[in-house]
């Protein structure tokens, strides 16, 4: 297989133009500064924004294929305010944990669907992730591996939360259930069935005694949670010890799906008598809007709820003292009324839901919300950070003491904004892009603005408002940009002064037309003019000219344009128009599903190109003018020759959903195309094959541009992102590229060996199964282990006179075969170790057990050796039990494992006790030091006061 040197690889470069994507935003505390930094998903990246300065201070990239769907900061350690780590979930099922101090990621693979929610335990040692496949995985961040996979929900997991007081995980799903999982036994012990629709979010409050859940209506349901003391026995036993429990309730262990007798059909009042927890419905709180809940966020004091609109509902959680004060006040009023009425009955008042929750005035954002987070301080000031659907980030203030009842309107919401991050990107999707002649700047246009970006620094240097842009060209000289708009106007902008020079109505269709606008714009071959095509079924020719600048009093000149005398009438609306670089042809694509080539000088018909089922949306000429390529809505790309108008090749299914734009690389027959499938693809039009797929966009890619020398490609689309693709000097081998694409496709479809989960004893129909997932990385790890075992066997069989293997000698720098195997096991990632062992065959498992026995005998890395042994025995238990060869190995392992683990346990216990002792001594020393310092301060203050009194006495005596 030879190396194809005529293709050079394009790799992802800078990504800019994004403030935030996804439906999540979180406050992050850095340098002990609260409510200043926020973490925002941005396609496959995570941005940390400084909201006060509107600056991006950190970019996190885990180098995974999916886009970021959720972020969750790790709780601060005791004695600190800073969030040291950030958990990030991706749409491809990956979970990454970033260290915010250096940006290094730790990646876990355990989900087949996209990660929908994340949560940290109060200590920050474990993280739980729920995905679209209805499964929950609990990860151990310290040991860098999965703990357990919980299966029980029948729909997408919408939220997971750890309880602060117990080792319990709470989860909600689109199957309308809220489940409580005991992480000591890894089983669901309670299912809350009070919802009749999807549960989209929930939050735990008041030391895990209250739970507020949001569904598909305006109600926020509030539940009271109470754990029954196990030593007190069952509730029914406490009521009547002589009544014997029915067998089906007496021996029940898993309460999953159980309905107590007499409660069927009662909906919210369904209770499970055998559960250790009681859930009582306290009532409901109404939101301002009737749409579904998109998010429930709390900091323990304030609860913020929002839907798909711009309205934010705020609720204050009152403390126990405040609740008692309200109840006492109501009790005094009730007793006063009873005395006035002459009633002798005892008046009793109990706390209600209205005493625990107080609704604040609803806040209104400027536009629709994509994500929200809330923070409140001790003074009662509340800050709301909102990620909007228009690619902006805003900060809104509120107050717990606010008693305003009227809801804000849009103008008041705009005035209420504290900080707004909006300059780095477009408010709507990017519709057109172009390079300058020197390729140092990129010009992009959207529905409301035109922006100029520095390619190297990826910073916006110019922003000017425009109409809804559909097409864009940079005028030669790089000082002006010409935009064709949906209103049918041509707008000429001066990029240096960011001013609009011309706004001319160029294409005005009749009143019966529904689609209007200039759909295409192209420079002529000599760059002295341009051609436009629009919805009025006309192709018009224009030329640039210099006119007197009236803004300067007629002293200077500026660029303008005027319509040429030539024009071309076509049969239908023009969707695309292009001019060949040699000046021979003008290509026009129309809505009647054909393209026509005209001679540029006479505008006479040259060729008509047919054969499409849907209209063409884009086309381009090669630099030499011998080829014209068209892309249409039927997902196909067609390559035509300009000499005879013959179709050289039909590339079917080039982009799923349709081709949106394509461009030739100058002076080559290589071409780039983009489409509605979110990919940018490179093609060779000489041998009619696809070179490479460039993935990164989430959503439709609307436009792309190639720089004059072909070193960079820029693309923009629906996700508001602008992406640069950079050409490298690395040669690209097509066969290897196709093999990698097939592997990725198999993993996506679930048909590859790497995605098939090996059968493990005890996991059939179980709620708790192993958390890891087999990927191509685990297969590589298994190959490393098998190779190490083979080298070990060869070295042992050869004896003491064996020549060390080259891997041992030059890669791992050891001559001991056992150390070599240990170093290979250490190099395998902790999250992939278990699955790598599961892939091994039975003969390799026996060899691995022998190696583990030798490692335990020498006392090398007892924890790793024990973990490998347990994984190997667990997956191959039936085969090992029936093998006479494995029996002596396992019998010899049993006493060694017990001894070594006991030694390790004793050592860890001794070290822990020593650390506690050192901690206590340090605390005592600190307290003593503080006491000494306080005593010295008191003595010094007394000495100064006495000295001052003495000085006053001297003055009085002198007087």
Centroid of chain to Cα 234: 45
* Alpha-carbon distances, residue 590 vs 515, 537, 539, 647 (angstroms): 13, 8, 11, 18
Which residue is listed with tokens 């901690």?
919
Q: In whole angstroms, what is the distance from residue 570 CA to residue 595 CA?
A: 11
The one-character DSSP state at 77 is P
Note the pLDDT of residue 442: 94
Length of the chain: 959
pLDDT given at position 80: 84
Q: Is the Cβ–Cβ distance between 518 and 507 less than 8 Å? A: yes
Distance CA 492, CA 49 (A): 34
Where residue 23 falls among pLDDT bands split at 50, 70, 90? confident
| Matching residue, tokens 């990029």 | 495
Two tokens, residue 616: 């063409």
Reported as a pLDDT band with limits 50, 70 and 90, residue 859 is confident
* Region label for 124, one of left (φ > 0), alpha (ψ between -120 and 50) or beta (otherwise): left
What is the radius of gyration, based on Cα positions, of the chain?
35
Measured distance CA(345)–CA(338) in Å, rounded: 8
Nearest-angstrom CA–CA distance, 800 and 821:
17
Residue-wise pLDDT tens digits, 68-113? 999 999 998 887 888 899 999 999 889 999 999 888 898 888 888 8
Rounded distance between C-alpha atoms, residue 560 and residue 17, angstroms: 30
**Model confidence pLDDT, tens digit, residues 589-619:** 999 888 899 998 888 999 898 878 889 999 9
Find tokens 């990956």 and name the residue: 94
Q: Residue 24: left (phi > 0), alpha (psi -120 to 50), or beta?
A: beta
Average pLDDT of 349-356?
A: 81
Q: pLDDT band for position 171 (50/70/90)?
A: very high
Region 406-417: what's the mean pLDDT?
65
Instruction: Output 409 or 179, whichever has higher pLDDT.
Output: 179
- Residue 243 burial (CB < 10 Å; 0-12/13-18/19+)? exposed
Q: In this structure, are residues 106 and 96 in contact, taking their beta carbons and an 8 Å threshold?
A: yes
Count other Cβ atoms within 10 Å, centred on residue 33: 13
The token duo for 252 is 């029940």
Q: 896 or 435: which carries more pLDDT confidence?
A: 435
pLDDT-derived band at 257 (thresholds 50, 70, 90) equals: very low
User: And the tokens for 458?
Assistant: 């990826």
Q: Range with the lowest mean pLDDT among 150-164, 388-402, 883-897?
A: 883-897
Instruction: Return the higher-pLDDT residue of 796 and 129.
Output: 129
Q: How many CB atoms lie within 10 A of CB 330?
A: 16
Q: What is the pLDDT of residue 414?
A: 67
pLDDT tens-place string over residues 782-810? 888 888 888 888 888 887 777 778 778 77
- Average confidence (pLDDT) over 10-25: 89
Q: DSSP 3-state assignment of 50?
A: strand
- Percentage of residues of the chain with pLDDT beyond 90: 33
In angstroms, the CA 650 to CA 198 distance is 46
Beta bridge partners, 95, equal 89, 108
CB atoms within 10 A of CB 289: 17
Counting residues of the chain whose pLDDT is more than 70, the rounded percentage is 90
Query: In the predicted model, what is the mean pLDDT of residues 474-482?
Result: 92
Q: Which two tokens stand for residue 834?
A: 């278990």
Residue 789: burial class (beta carbons within 10 Å; 0-12, 13-18, 19+): buried
Q: Distance between CA atoms of 704 and 683, rounded to whole angstroms?
A: 14
Name the least confident of 224-228, 524-528, 716-720, 842-846. Answer: 842-846
- Measure the CA–CA gap between 130 and 93, rounded to whole angstroms: 10
Residue-wise pLDDT tens digits, 414-426? 666 777 888 788 9
Q: Cβ contacts of residue 197 below 8 Å, gap of 6+?
A: 176, 215, 216, 217
Q: Residue 955: CB partners within 8 Å, gap ≥ 6? A: none
User: How many CB atoms are closer than 10 A to CB 106?
Assistant: 18
Q: Model-level pTM greater than 0.85?
A: no
Contact assessment for residue 138 and residue 183, using Cβ atoms and an 8 Å cutoff:
yes
> Over 60: is that where the pLDDT of 235 sits?
no
- For the chain, the average pLDDT equals 84
Asked if 714 contacts 672 with a C-beta cutoff of 8 angstroms, the reply is no
Q: Are 61 and 68 contacting, i.e. CB atoms less than 8 angstroms apart?
A: no
Quote the CA–CA distance of 837 and 872 in Å, as a whole number.
Answer: 6
In this structure, the number of other CB atoms found within 10 A of the CB of residue 783 comes to 12
Query: Distances in Å between the alpha carbon of 18 and those of 48, 388, 428, 923?
Result: 12, 12, 11, 48
How far is residue 942's CA from residue 142's CA, in Å, rounded to a whole number? 53
Q: Name which of 34-38, 380-384, 555-559 the model is least confident about.
A: 555-559
Q: How far apart are CA 584 and CA 627, in angstroms?
A: 12
SS3 601: coil
Give the three-class secondary structure for 491: strand
Cα distances (Å, whole numbers) of residue 804 to 418, 790, 955: 68, 13, 95
Residue 271 binned pLDDT confidence (cut-offs 50, 70, 90): very low
């Amino acid at each position: 297989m030879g190396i194809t040197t005529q293709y050079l690889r394009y790799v992802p470069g800078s990504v800019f133009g994004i403030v935030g994507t996804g439906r999540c935003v979180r406050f992050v505390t850095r340098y002990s500064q609260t409510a200043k930094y926020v973490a925002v998903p941005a396609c496959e990246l995570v941005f940390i924004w400084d909201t006060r300065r509107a600056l991006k201070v950190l970019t996190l990239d885990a180098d995974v294929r999916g886009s970021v769907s959720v972020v969750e900061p790790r709780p601060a350690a005791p004695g600190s305010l800073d969030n040291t780590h950030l958990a990030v979930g991706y749409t491809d099922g990956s979970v990454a944990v970033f260290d915010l101090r250096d940006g290094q990621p730790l990646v876990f693979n355990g989900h087949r669907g996209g990660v929908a929610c994340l949560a940290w335990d109060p200590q920050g040692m474990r993280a739980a992730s729920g995905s679209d496949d209805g499964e929950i995985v609990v990860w151990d961040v310290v040991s860098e591996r999965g703990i357990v996979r919980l299966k029980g929900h029948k729909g997408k997991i919408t939220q997971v939360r750890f309880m602060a007081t117990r080792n319990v995980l709470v989860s909600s799903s689109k199957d309308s259930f809220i489940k409580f999982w005991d992480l000591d036994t890894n089983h669901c012990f309670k299912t809350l069935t009070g919802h009749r629709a999807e549960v989209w979010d929930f939050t735990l409050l008041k030391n895990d005694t209250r739970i507020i859940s949001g569904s598909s209506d305006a109600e926020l349901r509030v539940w009271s949670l109470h754990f029954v003391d196990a030593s007190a026995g069952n509730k029914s036993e406490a009521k009547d010890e002589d009544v014997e429990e029915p067998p089906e309730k007496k021996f029940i262990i898993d309460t999953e799906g159980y309905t107590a007798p007499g409660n069927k059909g009662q909906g919210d009042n369904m209770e499970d008598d055998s559960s250790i927890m009681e859930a009582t419905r306290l009532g409901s709180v109404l939101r301002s809007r009737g749409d579904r809940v998109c998010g429930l966020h709390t900091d323990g004091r304030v609860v913020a709820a929002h839907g798909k609109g711009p309205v934010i509902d705020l609720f204050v959680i009152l403390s126990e003292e405040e609740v008692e004060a309200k109840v006492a006040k109501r009790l005094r009023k009730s007793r006063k009324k009873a005395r006035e009425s002459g009633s002798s009955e005892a008046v009793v008042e109990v706390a209600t839901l209205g005493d625990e929750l107080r609704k604040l005035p609803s806040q209104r954002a400027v536009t629709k919300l994509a994500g929200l987070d809330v923070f409140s301080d001790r003074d009662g000031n509340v800050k709301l950070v909102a990620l909007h659907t228009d690619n902006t980030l805003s900060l809104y203030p509120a107050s717990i003491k606010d008693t305003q009842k009227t809801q804000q309107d849009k103008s008041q919401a705009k005035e209420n904004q504290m900080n707004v991050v909006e300059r780095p990107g477009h408010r709507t999707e990017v519709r057109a892009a172009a390079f300058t002649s020197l390729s140092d700047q990129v010009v992009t246009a959207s529905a409301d603005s035109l922006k100029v970006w520095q390619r190297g620094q990826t910073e916006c240097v110019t922003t000017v408002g425009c109409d809804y842009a559909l097409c864009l060209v940079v005028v030669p000289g790089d000082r002006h940009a010409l935009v064709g708009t949906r209103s049918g106007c041509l707008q000429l902008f001066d990029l240096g002064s960011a001013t609009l020079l011309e706004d001319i109505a160029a294409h005005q269709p009749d009143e019966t037309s529904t689609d209007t606008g200039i759909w295409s714009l192209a420079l002529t071959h000599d760059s002295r003019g341009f051609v436009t095509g629009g919805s009025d079924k006309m192709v018009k020719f224009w030329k640039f000219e210099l006119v007197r600048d009236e803004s300067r009093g007629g002293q200077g000149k500026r660029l303008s344009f005027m319509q040429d005398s030539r024009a071309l009438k076509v049969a239908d609306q023009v969707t695309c128009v292009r001019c060949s670089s040699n000046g021979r042809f003008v290509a026009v694509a129309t809505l009647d599903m054909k393209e026509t080539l005209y001679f540029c000088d006479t505008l006479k018909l040259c060729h008509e190109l047919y054969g499409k089922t849907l209209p063409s949306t884009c086309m381009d000429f090669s630099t030499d003018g011998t080829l014209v390529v068209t892309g249409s809505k039927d997902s196909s790309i067609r390559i035509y020759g300009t000499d005879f108008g013959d179709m050289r090749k039909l590339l079917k299914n080039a982009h799923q959903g349709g081709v949106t734009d394509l461009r030739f690389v100058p002076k080559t027959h290589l071409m780039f195309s983009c489409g509605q499938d979110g990919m940018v693809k490179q093609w060779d039009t000489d041998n009619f094959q696809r070179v490479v797929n460039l993935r990164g966009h989430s959503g439709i890619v609307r436009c792309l541009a190639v720089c004059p020398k072909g070193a960079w490609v820029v693309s923009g689309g629906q996700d508001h992102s602008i992406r640069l693709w950079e050409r490298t000097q690395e040669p690209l081998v097509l066969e290897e590229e196709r093999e990698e694409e097939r592997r990725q496709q198999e993993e996506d479809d679930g048909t590859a060996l790497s995605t098939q989960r090996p059968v493990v004893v005890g996991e059939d129909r179980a709620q708790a199964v192993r958390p890891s997932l087999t990927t191509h990385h685990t297969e590589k790890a298994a190959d490393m282990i098998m190779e190490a075992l083979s080298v070990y066997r060869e070295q042992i069989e050869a004896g003491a006179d064996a020549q060390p293997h080259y891997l041992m000698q030059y890669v791992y720098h050891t001559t001991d075969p056992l150390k070599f195997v240990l170093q290979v096991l250490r190099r395998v990632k902790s999250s992939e170790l278990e699955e790598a062992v599961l892939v091994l065959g039975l003969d390799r498992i026996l060899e691995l057990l022998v190696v583990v026995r030798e490692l335990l005998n020498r006392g090398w890395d007892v924890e790793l050796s024990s973990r490998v042994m347990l994984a190997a025995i667990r997956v191959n238990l039936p085969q090992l039990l029936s093998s006479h060869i494995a029996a002596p190995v396992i019998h010899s392992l049993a006493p060694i494992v017990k001894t070594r683990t006991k030694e390790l346990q004793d050592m860890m216990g001794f070290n822990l006790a020593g650390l506690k002792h050192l901690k206590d001594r340090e605390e005592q020393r600190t307290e003593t030091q503080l006491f000494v310092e306080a005593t010295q301060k008191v003595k010094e203050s007394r000495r100064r006061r006495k000295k001052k009194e003495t000085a006053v006495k001297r003055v009085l005596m002198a007087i």
